[in-house]
Structure 1
């Protein structure tokens, strides 16, 4: 008796995919059908963090790559700065013939989205930032954190030590709670797997060491694209005032606030964010 044929997995159902687009071997996920939206995660995350929100955006073809060295993307070159990552994402889009209508970024991913919009020959119709990291570290942290990250990247053992410490799920849960978010078991398991991966940790540290926001911040008043910055009132990682200030400097900036969520708001409760994105998207026509 012949075996029943099984259909191949739907490439737009969030299943992991690999694409080679120099200089990196990209790992990404896609959901839905319709106009394209590029989803860019923040430092230390990966594309799987977009799954809760993407399921609430059925009218969009959501494309979520892992940043170089993070998640499943294999970095083909040490390109971890804001400009380099935006440039390499632009190359990925060109390689695939993708022209997203929307760029959606979380935390540092929002900064990358804004910079990417300046590089694309066919700019997006709109940009959405969720708890956008659009402020440099202040005071002692501004001096210490980048130097600490650079020092740790010089040690081949630093990322392994951090990954070993993160293997206890409770440590991952505490880290998530420290950002103002309330983690469920699936969120804890996902971040625990990421933080236990030395390669992922090393790439995140390199990204932090190379992070320079000031050139982008100086150009905010020149970005013509409509931008919606969504902030969560309980975010302890990036205060809502950061998004409010940035929106006021953007020619077509809008600000919206969620009253009861933290830094990982799009994973905690994606429905209200999806509603904001849908309303913003409709306003662009």
Structure 2
């Protein structure tokens, strides 16, 4: 990372610890943010091709909460799960085992692809008192406002898997393609914030273990959405959605909220799929109200 984070001052006040756990035969790297004696613990699951750093801007505005942020298997500092296909069932099983081992009964939070993983896990029996979904995938990606772009992405990942290993991996890590993706998702007009967003994607979006894991995870991300799991989720659920999300239209998010037994929807204006980078304070505020966590003085 070469561009300073606009949230660095807040982040630097948070205690952070890196730990590891053996989950489903592989080693999961995870980070614990916030006070060890916090009354509230949240497990936060990042999105496709990202890793735990992506959620840090939101965590910077939640200093009162203990947040456990793992890297998904095959991404960041977590290696692939040995001998497994990294499909949605495997990711949900991994999260269920990780939560039981590291923080049983924690509140579960998922962003983007993480919203699918967390919803599948909770619907499948992962016990949690509450569920939080940021930019939830509430409709098939192929049918969203940029369905054509998603179809091109399918071809891109297919080509990356088909080419010889060296060429395929180079294509999947191509910085120009990553930048085009970043530009297409960023909505802010703030030049400094845009530079930060692009630098985040340049730095972290190609930290996948290998092209097979990336292909598996991509197929999982475009083959499922939260709608399939919402009716089986009975715990109070918060959806934080962007009014200009190019992946799931806000109308689809409003419909998604009605499929849960007990859900509330918070809409954030003038932002797209990068709530965690562009409007983290608003997202954190919605989370705090949902969890009824008071703001500490001086924060």
Q: TM-score, normalization: structure 1?
A: 0.82
Gaps of 5+ in 1: 1-9
Q: Secondary structure at the match of 1:56?
A: coil
Distance change in 2, residues 1:185/1:200 (3 Å): farther
Q: CA deviation at 1:30?
A: 1.5
Work out the number of aligned pairs and report it: 266
Q: CA deviation at 1:105?
A: 1.0
Aligned partners of 1:198 and 1:124: how far apart in 2? 29
Q: Which runs of 4+ in 1 moved over 4 A?
A: 139-148
Aligned partners of 1:219 and 1:109: how far apart in 2? 13
Q: Does 1:127 align with 2:149?
A: no
Alignment partner of 1:22 out of 20, 24, 27: 24
Give matches, 1:166-185, under 5 Å: 166=175, 172-182=178-188, 183-185=193-195
Alignment partner of 2:217 out of 207, 210, 218: 207
Distance change in 2, residues 1:147/1:186 (3 Å): closer
Q: CA deviation at 1:152?
A: 3.4
Q: In angstroms, what is the RMSD of aligned CA positions?
A: 2.7
Q: CA deviation at 1:146?
A: 5.1
Distance change in 2, residues 1:106/1:181 (3 Å): farther
| Structure-2 residue corresponding to 1:64 | 69
The 8 Å contact of residues 39 and 64 in structure 1, kept in 2 or not, is answered as yes
Aligned partners of 1:264 and 1:202: how far apart in 2? 26
Q: TM-score, normalization: structure 2?
A: 0.78
Distance change in 2, residues 1:125/1:194 (3 Å): same
Q: Secondary structure at the match of 1:161?
A: helix
Alignment partner of 2:239 out of 226, 229, 235: 229
> Which string of whole-angstrom CA distances, capped at 9 and with x for unpartnered residues, describes residues 238-273 of structure 1?
222232111111111211110122211122221111
Distance change in 2, residues 1:197/1:102 (3 Å): closer
Q: Secondary structure at the match of 1:88?
A: helix
Q: Does 1:38 align with 2:46?
A: no
Give matches, 1:1-285, under 5 Å: 13-33=15-35, 34=38, 35-77=40-82, 78-96=84-102, 98-120=103-125, 123-138=127-142, 149-150=157-158, 152-155=160-163, 156=165, 157-163=167-173, 165-166=174-175, 172-182=178-188, 183-197=193-207, 199=209, 203-211=213-221, 212-213=223-224, 217-282=227-292
Gaps of 5+ in 2: 1-11, 294-299
Aligned partners of 1:108 and 1:196: how far apart in 2? 16
Structure ranking higher on relative contact order (CA contacts 8 Å, 6+ apart): 2
Distance change in 2, residues 1:204/1:14 (3 Å): farther
